[in-house]
Structure 1
Amino acid sequence: MSDVWGESLPILYGRSTATGELVHVDDAPNGKACGCVCPDPGCEQPLIARNNGKKRIHHFAHIGGTCAWSAEYLLTELALEVISERGRIWFPGLSYEAPGTHLPEMIAKGMELPVSCAEKIEVKGRKAPAIAVEIRTSRGCARYVFVPELVHALGGEQIASLREECRGIVRIDLRGLMREMKTLEGKHYDREELAVRIQSKKTMKDLLSGKCQRHLDWVWNAKAEELSDQARRAYIERKEEERRKAEEERERKGPP
């Protein structure tokens, strides 16, 4: 399979049927005795732990075939663990396109902010959850949503549903990160090694602490939309005023 982030990505974590917690494949008994199911509750197929070999990476396999959403669900869980442990998260720089010039107008630089609360939330039309975080501001608490994206792109209807309950949506671009890893390794890249790296808490910490800033981007932000609308209205008014003055000047001068 040419797509390194496809549905057949080896999964390194299963969900314990005994505790409900995520279990790394190396910490589970080999084979069907692992006592784990797919981390995606929409699937929950029993898993087989393949952690006794020396040639291939250790991983979990679905007994009944692959699962389209297990990767996103798992990575969302890992991201939530990292956020909860660190108590902080990186917000990417915020800007909007200035009307007339199409150049970015900076609103705020990227920064790491303390999180007062973090939880999984469901996204309408998406079979993997997102992470809602609350940030304390001078005006109270503000809610933002972070969406890990790997196999399935965040759709327009999903964005519209999330906009109703938050001040901004940030994409965690795992697809772009894997593409970058693949490029850096060259044409003889090790696909299984990429699967290990993308499913590590270290990678999530790097992403969510700002060490991989280009792989966090705003999908939508209420403040940016508000300022963009204000700038666009001001630009239209200015152009109309310029046209009005030009017309008055032509009338004053009269026919050539």
Structure 2
Amino acid sequence: MYGLAEHIERFRKSAEEALLALPSDAEIRAGIREVLRRCRGRTFVRVRMLAYGTGEDIGSRRASLSVFALPVAGYASAAPRLMTAKTVRRAEGELPRALKSPSTYLRVRRDVVAAREAGYDDLVVLNEHQRVSEATRSNIVMVKDGSLCTPPLNEGALPGITKRILRRLAAEDGIPWEERPIHREELEHAEALLLTSSSLGVVVADSLDGRRFAPSPLAERMQRRYTRLPGEHPDHECLTSLHGESASSLEGAL
């Protein structure tokens, strides 16, 4: 699995923001292990965790945890056609960005439907400063002048684990990485755009607002680097095997 410890840590922080008490990390890992055991025969699945309050009183912190898996196939386009969102999303909303809540997913669903009705696959979301925040379900990494650039968290981006892993891989390969604000006009001069999330992995965008990107060796290299990691470097620090098997035999994304 990619970034298991980091995903559990982020999930726990999200639950703390929601005032929910989770079981121990060991119990969570055991639940994930059992779900993956039942997924034998599939080469790649999305693992999802859902915490919800079970106390009778609204102020109770007692919670239950559900762990389940979904297929990756059909989740999203492998080469998404992007459009710039017409509306802005405030960099600092009412809820913490680390909190993944039903209201967050409702907004994502509405944004994705709007993009598809307009003939695209996903949106590039801008904040109130007309700077890039993220896509609807993923972080954005811009390829420009031989380096990788992504918006910082204070621009409204989710603290993505996959993006963090990609940054480690870039550092290992000596590829420059910048974390800074990206104005929407910069996207017009981007060599390529990468979308990163645990469900998508790392994908190279096909186009933005109808402008197709030319093939980018650097973007394609980083996509391959991430995708082939379990097979080529199964003992990499970003991977965790829960079965005592080779990490390449069954992959999971949180």
TM norm structure 2: 0.27
Q: Which has the higher contact order (CA 8 A, sep 6+)?
A: 2
Task: Give the helix-richer structure, 1 or 2.
Answer: 1
TM norm structure 1: 0.27
